[in-house]
Amino acid sequence: MTTGLTSNNTHSSLLRAQARYRVDELGTHVVIVPASCPSGRHLLATCGYRIIETGDVLNVICQQCTNTSQPADRWILATGGRQAQSAEFDDGPYTHTVRAHAASL
């Protein structure tokens, strides 16, 4: 996740969270990204996704939600400037954020 890309993000109801990281047994820095889209309807690895890094933010975009014009089609993960060499899917670190988002709908 070291290549910076640009994004024209104009969505207003996005799911925001702090990015979670770990270091694997080889010392590689890994960012943990949610396995599910913000709506919880799609598994990103199955339906398609994009991860766009812009400054201190990762946009984790669900392609299925984007294709059907869902208002919350992406996660916005604050990185605090940290960079990772790899990414992996895991909903666990984001469970509280997903529940709070679902309760607000």
Q: In this predicted structure, what is the pLDDT of residue 102?
A: 65
pTM equals: 0.79
101 pLDDT higher than 80: no
Q: In this predicted structure, what is the pLDDT of residue 10?
A: 43
41 pLDDT higher than 50: yes
**Distance from the Cα of residue 27 to its chain's centroid:** 22
